[in-house]
Amino acid sequence: MATTDANGNYQVPLAGLTAPFAIFATDPSGAAQPLTSVVASVPTSSSGPVIANVTTLTTAVSALMTQSGNPFDLADSKTLSTLVTPASVAGAVKTLNAALSRILRANNVDSKSFDPIATPFPANQTRPDAVIDTVQVIPATGSPGGLQLISNANPNSSAKLVLNSSASVAAPLPVPPADAVFSTQGSGPMDNIMGYGQGTGYAASVIYSMSVTAGIDQNGAQGCTTACSFAAVVLGIDRSLELDSNYGPISLGAYWGYSD
Q: pLDDT by residue (tens digit) across 23-82? A: 999 988 887 889 999 999 998 877 778 999 999 999 999 999 999 999 999 999 999 999
Q: Whole-model pTM?
A: 0.71
Q: What's the pLDDT score for residue 237? A: 45
State the sign of the Cα–Cα–Cα–Cα dihedral 246, 131, 137, 101.
positive
Contact (CB, 8 A) for 62 and 146: no
The tens digit of pLDDT for each residue in 129-154 reads 999 989 999 999 888 889 999 998 77
Q: What's the pLDDT score for residue 239? A: 42
Q: What's the pLDDT score for residue 14? A: 87
**How far is residue 210's CA from residue 214's CA, in Å, rounded to a whole number?**
11
3-class DSSP assignment, residue 242 = strand
Q: What's the pLDDT score for residue 158? A: 74
Higher pLDDT, 52 or 210: 52
